[in-house]
C-alpha cells in the first residue's frame, strides 16, 4: 500500500490516491478470502462493532418486513375469508407463501455464494415489495393466493440472507448476542403482527396488512444499499451463471411443490385416497429421490451437499427445527381461530391474547444469545426449551369455550418463554458444527426444514379442523348450502341466525370446532416431544471459537483504519492539499 506522504516526484497526488483506493479495495477483498473446495469466494467479512451496529439497522428492517407479513395475516384470515368468500381455501393464503418460500430457500444460500449476499438480499426485497402491492390490490381469493405465492419467493430469501450475512460479519462466539438481537426483532414482529392485523381487519380493511409492506420494504432496500458492505465475489457473470445447479434447482422446486400440494389437498379439498392427492404425493416423492441422486452423483456444485447429513448435530437441529416450525405456526394461525370461532372473541381480542406467547420470546432469545456469547454453551438451553414447551402444549390441550382467559394466558406465556430457548441456540449449534465455507448452505437448509414443517403443519391442521367440523355438521343434517356457507365464512357461527341454526345446533358446531382445535394441539405436543428427543440424542456441544477468528478481527481493524486514511486523502484532494504541501507545512 502506498504512503501518501512519500511519493515519487513524477507521480501526481490524484493518480496515487486513485491507485491507493484501488489497492485498498483489493486488500479488503483479499484480506479474509478463502476458497471452498468448489472454488467459491469466502465472503466472511468481520466488521468493527460500530459498523456491525449500522449493518444491523438495515438487517432488522428487512427481517421485520418478512416476519411482520407472516404474522399480520393470522388474525385477519377470518375477515379475508368472509370478504373474498373463500373460507375453504383460506389456509392457502399462508400456505402459498410458505410453499414458495420453502421451495426456493435451499437455493438462496448457494446463489448468495455465487452472486454475493447483498445482491441476492436486495433482489428479494424488491420482489417482496412488488407482490405486496399486488396482494393489496387482489379482488378474488385465487388472485390473492397466487400473489402470495410470488411474495413468498422474496420473503423467504430475506430471512435466509439476513441470517447468512450475520454469520459473515461477526465471529461464531460473538454471533450469539447478535443473532439474539435478530431473533428479538423477529419476536417483536411476531408479537405486533397479529395485533396490527386484527386492528386492520376490525377497524379498516385487511388490505392494509399488505399496504404496510410498501414503505417498510422500501426503507429496507434503501438502508441495504447504503449500509450493507459489499464484498466482491470473484469471477465473471458467465462463470457465475455456469456455476448454478439448474437441474438441482428445478428438481427441488418441483418436488417441494408436488409434495405440498398433495399434503394441502388431502382431507380438505379431496379425500386422502383420491387420485388428486396420491398422484402429486407419489410424483413429489419420485422427483425428490431423483434430486437426491443428482445432488450426490451429478451436480458439480450441489445446492444441498448431502455429506452435511452425516453430522449428527446438524441432523438433530434439522429435526428439532422442523418440529419447531410445525408447532409455532400451528399456534400462530390456529390459536386466534380457536379464540374467534369457539370463544367468539373479536380479531383484536384474539390477537391480544396471542401476545403472552409472542411477547416474551424476544427477551428470552436475547438473554440466551448473551449467555451463549459469554459462556459458549447452547446444548442444555435447547433441551430445556423443548422440554418445557412440550408441557405448555399439553396444558393447551385442556382449553375449551369455558376456559378462563387467565389460564389461556398462563399456558401461552409458558410456551412463549420456552420457545425462546430454542430459536437462536439451534441455529448457533448448526453453524458451530460445520466449517466456515458450509455455513451459508447449512443455514439455508435449516430455514428450509423449518418452512417445510410450517407448511406441513398448516396443511395437516386445516385437515384436522375441517374434518372434525364436517363430522359435527353431519349429525345435524345441515343442507349443502349451510355447510358451504359455514366452510366459506367460519365466523358466521357467531351469527347463527344467518344459517338458521338454533342454540343446540350452534353448540354442536362449536363442539366440532373444539375437537378439531384439540387435535391440532395434540399434534403440537407430539412435535415437541420429537424435538426434545432429537435435541437430547443428537445435538452435541461444539467449540464456538475458531482458529482464525482473532486474525479476521485484526484484519477488520486494519481495513477500517485504511479506509479512514483513504477518506482523509480524498478530502485533502478536494481541498487542494497535496502531499508536498503537507510535508512543507510540517517542515
**pLDDT, tens digit, for every residue of 90-148?**
778 877 887 788 778 777 777 777 788 888 889 999 999 999 999 999 988 889 999 99
Q: Quick one: which H or E segment has residue 512? A: helix 503-538
Residue 341 and residue 208 share a domain: yes
Residue 138 and residue 277 share a domain: no
Rounded Cα gap, residues 193 and 352, in angstroms: 10
| Better-predicted residue by pLDDT, 469 or 499 | 469
What is the torsion angle, in degrees rounded to the nearest 10, for the CA atoms of residue 76, residue 78, residue 81 and residue 82? -110
The alpha carbon of 512 is separated from its chain's Cα centroid by a whole number of angstroms, namely: 33
In a domain, 67, yes or no: yes
In a domain, 442, yes or no: yes
Residue 66 and residue 200 share a domain: yes
Which of 272-276, 391-395, 443-447 has the lowest average pLDDT? 443-447
CA atoms within 13 A on the CB side of 292: 9
The torsion angles phi and psi of 399, rounded to 5 degrees, stand at -80, 150
Rounded Cα gap, residues 462 and 95, in angstroms: 10
Residue 359 and residue 217 share a domain: yes
In a domain, 13, yes or no: no
Residue 305 and residue 272 share a domain: no
> How sure is the predictor about 7, in pLDDT bands with cuts at 50, 70 and 90?
very low
In a domain, 151, yes or no: yes
Neighbours of 558 (CB within 10 A): 13
End-to-end CA distance of the chain: 24
Residue 505 and residue 424 share a domain: yes
In a domain, 446, yes or no: yes
Query: Could you give the angle at which helices 405-420 and 312-341 cross, rounded to 10 degrees?
Result: 160
| For residue 20, pLDDT beyond 50 | no
In a domain, 343, yes or no: yes
In this structure, the chain runs to a length of: 587
Residue-level pLDDT at 231: 64
Neighbours of 582 (CB within 10 A): 14
pLDDT digits (tens, 9 = 90+) for 154-196: 988 888 888 788 877 777 667 666 766 777 787 778 778 878 8
Q: Mean per-residue pLDDT for 544-555? A: 58
For Cα atoms 84, 90, 96, give the angle at the middle one, nearest 5 degrees: 115
pLDDT digits (tens, 9 = 90+) for 484-529: 777 777 778 878 777 778 888 888 888 888 999 999 999 999 999 9
| For residue 31, pLDDT beyond 50 | no
Residue 260 and residue 313 share a domain: no
Please list, in sequence order, all residues whose beta carbon lies within 8 angstroms of the beta carbon of residue 439, skipping any fewer than 6 positions away: 164, 167, 431
| For residue 551, pLDDT beyond 50 | yes
C-beta separation of 385 from 420 below 8 A = yes
Residue-level pLDDT at 105: 77
Residue 528 and residue 433 share a domain: yes
Instruction: Give the residue from 270, 300, 330 where a domain finishes.
Output: 300
Residue 260 and residue 337 share a domain: no
Rounded Cα gap, residues 65 and 244, in angstroms: 28
Residue 254 and residue 173 share a domain: no
Residue-level pLDDT at 534: 96
Q: Please give the tally of structural domains in the chain.
A: 2
| Better-predicted residue by pLDDT, 176 or 362 | 362
Which of 352-361, 382-391, 521-530 has the lowest average pLDDT? 352-361
DSSP state of 171: -
Which of 151-160, 457-466, 534-543, 577-586 has the lowest average pLDDT? 577-586
C-beta separation of 266 from 459 below 8 A = yes
Q: Which of 47-56, 91-100, 417-426, 478-487 has the highest mean pLDDT?
A: 417-426
Q: Which long-range contacts (CB under 8 A, 24 or more apart) does 105-108 make?
A: 105/156, 105/157, 105/160, 105/444, 105/445, 105/447, 105/448, 105/451, 106/252, 106/303, 106/304, 106/444, 106/445, 106/448, 107/249, 107/252, 107/303, 107/444, 108/156, 108/157, 108/160, 108/161, 108/164, 108/444
Rounded Cα gap, residues 483 and 467, in angstroms: 12
Q: Which of 16-25, 87-96, 545-554 has the highest mean pLDDT?
A: 87-96
Residue 318 and residue 270 share a domain: no
Which of 125-134, 227-236, 530-539 has the lowest average pLDDT? 227-236
Please list, in sequence order, all residues whose beta carbon lies within 8 angstroms of the beta carbon of residue 68, skipping any fewer than 6 positions away: 189, 192, 193, 196, 212, 213, 216
Rounded Cα gap, residues 327 and 536, in angstroms: 18
Rounded Cα gap, residues 181 and 185, in angstroms: 6
Instruction: Give the residue from 268, 284, 300 where a domain finishes.
Output: 300
Rounded Cα gap, residues 59 and 307, in angstroms: 31
Rounded Cα gap, residues 536 and 386, in angstroms: 10
| For residue 38, pLDDT beyond 60 | no
In a domain, 317, yes or no: yes
The alpha carbon of 452 is separated from its chain's Cα centroid by a whole number of angstroms, namely: 11
For Cα atoms 121, 123, 125, give the angle at the middle one, nearest 5 degrees: 70
- Per the DSSP assignment, residues forming a β-bridge with 41 are 35
In a domain, 122, yes or no: yes
Rounded Cα gap, residues 117 and 458, in angstroms: 31
Residue 221 and residue 333 share a domain: yes
Instruction: Provide the mean pLDDT of the chain.
Output: 80
| Better-predicted residue by pLDDT, 109 or 427 | 427
CATH code, domain carrying 361: 1.20.1250.20
Q: Mean per-residue pLDDT for 194-216? A: 85
Instruction: Give the residue from 538, 555, 577 where a domain finishes.
Output: 538
Burial class of 220 by CB neighbour count within 10 A (0 to 12, 13 to 18, 19+): buried
C-beta separation of 179 from 163 below 8 A = yes
C-beta separation of 182 from 63 below 8 A = yes
| For residue 286, pLDDT beyond 90 | yes
> How sure is the predictor about 548, in pLDDT bands with cuts at 50, 70 and 90?
low
For residue 253, the enclosing domain spans 245-300
Residue-level pLDDT at 434: 86
Helix (H, G, I), strand (E, B) or coil at 41: strand
Rounded Cα gap, residues 365 and 53, in angstroms: 18
Please list, in sequence order, all residues whose beta carbon lies within 8 angstroms of the beta carbon of residue 66, skipping any fewer than 6 positions away: 128, 155, 156, 158, 159
| For residue 222, pLDDT beyond 60 | yes
Amino acid at each position: 500500500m502506498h504512503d501518501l506522504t512519500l511519493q515519487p516526484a513524477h507521480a501526481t497526488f490524484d493518480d496515487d490516491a486513485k491507485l491507493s483506493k484501488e489497492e485498498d479495495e483489493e486488500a479488503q477483498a483479499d484480506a479474509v478470502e478463502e476458497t471452498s473446495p468448489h472454488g467459491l469466494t469466502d465472503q466472511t467479512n468481520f466488521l468493527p462493532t460500530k459498523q456491525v451496529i449500522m449493518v444491523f439497522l438495515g438487517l432488522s428492517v428487512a427481517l421485520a418486513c418478512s416476519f411482520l407479513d407472516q404474522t399480520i395475516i393470522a388474525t385477519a384470515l377470518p375477515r379475508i375469508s368472509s370478504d373474498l368468500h373463500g373460507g375453504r381455501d383460506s389456509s392457502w393464503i399462508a400456505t402459498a407463501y410458505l410453499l414458495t418460500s420453502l421451495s426456493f430457500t435451499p437455493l438462496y444460500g448457494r446463489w448468495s455464494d455465487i452472486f454475493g449476499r447483498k445482491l441476492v438480499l436486495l433482489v428479494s426485497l424488491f420482489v417482496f415489495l412488488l407482490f405486496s402491492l399486488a396482494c393489496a390490490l387482489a379482488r378474488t381469493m385465487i388472485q390473492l393466493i397466487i400473489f402470495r405465492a410470488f411474495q413468498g419467493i422474496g420473503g423467504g430469501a430475506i430471512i435466509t440472507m439476513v441470517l447468512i450475512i450475520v454469520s459473515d460479519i461477526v465471529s461464531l462466539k460473538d454471533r450469539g448476542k447478535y443473532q439474539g438481537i435478530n431473533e428479538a426483532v423477529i419476536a417483536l414482529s411476531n408479537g405486533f403482527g397479529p395485533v396490527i392485523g386484527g386492528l386492520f381487519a376490525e377497524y379498516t380493511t385487511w388490505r392494509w396488512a399488505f399496504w404496510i409492506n410498501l414503505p417498510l420494504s422500501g426503507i429496507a432496500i434503501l438502508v441495504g444499499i447504503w449500509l450493507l458492505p459489499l464484498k466482491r465475489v470473484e469471477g465473471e457473470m458467465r462463470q457465475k451463471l455456469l456455476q448454478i445447479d439448474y437441474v438441482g434447482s428445478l428438481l427441488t422446486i418441483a418436488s417441494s411443490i408436488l409434495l405440498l400440494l398433495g399434503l394441502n389437498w388431502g382431507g380438505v379439498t379431496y379425500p386422502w385416497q383420491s387420485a388428486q392427492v396420491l398422484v402429486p404425493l407419489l410424483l413429489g416423492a419420485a422427483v425428490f429421490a431423483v434430486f437426491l441422486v443428482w445432488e450426490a452423483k451429478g451436480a458439480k456444485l450441489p445446492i444441498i451437499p448431502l455429506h452435511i447429513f452425516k453430522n449428527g448435530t446438524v441432523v438433530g437441529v434439522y429435526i428439532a427445527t422442523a418440529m419447531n416450525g410445525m408447532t409455532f405456526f400451528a399456534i400462530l394461525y390456529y390459536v386466534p381461530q380457536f379464540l374467534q370461532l369457539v370463544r367468539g372473541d373479536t380479531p383484536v381480542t384474539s390477537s391480544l391474547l396471542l401476545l403472552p406467547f409472542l411477547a416474551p420470546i424476544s427477551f428470552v432469545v436475547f438473554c440466551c444469545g448473551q449467555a451463549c456469547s459469554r459462556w459458549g454453551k447452547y446444548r442444555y438451553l435447547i433441551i430445556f426449551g423443548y422440554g418445557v414447551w412440550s408441557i405448555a402444549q399439553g396444558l393447551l390441550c385442556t382449553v375449551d369455550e369455558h376456559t378462563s382467559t387467565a389460564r389461556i394466558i398462563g399456558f401461552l406465556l409458558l410456551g412463549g418463554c420456552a420457545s425462546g430457548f430454542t430459536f437462536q441456540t439451534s441455529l448457533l449449534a448448526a453453524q458451530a458444527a460445520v466449517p466456515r465455507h458450509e455455513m451459508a448452505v447449512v443455514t439455508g437448509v435449516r430455514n428450509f426444514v423449518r418452512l417445510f414443517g410450517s407448511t406441513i403443519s398448516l396443511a395437516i391442521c386445516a385437515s384436522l379442523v375441517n374434518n372434525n367440523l364436517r363430522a359435527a355438521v353431519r349429525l345435524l343434517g345441515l343442507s349443502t348450502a349451510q355447510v358451504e356457507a359455514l366452510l366459506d365464512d367460519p365466523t358466521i357461527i357467531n351469527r347463527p341466525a344467518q344459517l338458521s341454526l338454533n342454540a343446540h345446533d350452534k353448540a354442536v358446531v362449536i363442539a366440532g370446532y373444539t375437537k378439531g382445535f384439540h387435535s391440532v394441539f395434540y399434534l403440537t405436543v407430539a412435535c415437541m416431544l420429537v424435538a426434545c428427543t432429537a435435541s437430547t440424542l443428537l445435538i452435541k456441544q461444539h467449540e464456538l471459537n475458531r482458529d482464525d477468528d482473532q486474525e479476521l478481527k485484526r484484519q477488520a481493524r486494519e481495513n477500517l483504519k485504511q479506509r479512514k486514511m483513504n477518506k482523509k486523502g480524498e478530502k485533502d484532494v478536494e481541498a487542494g492539499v497535496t502531499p508536498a504541501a503537507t510535508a512543507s507545512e510540517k517542515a
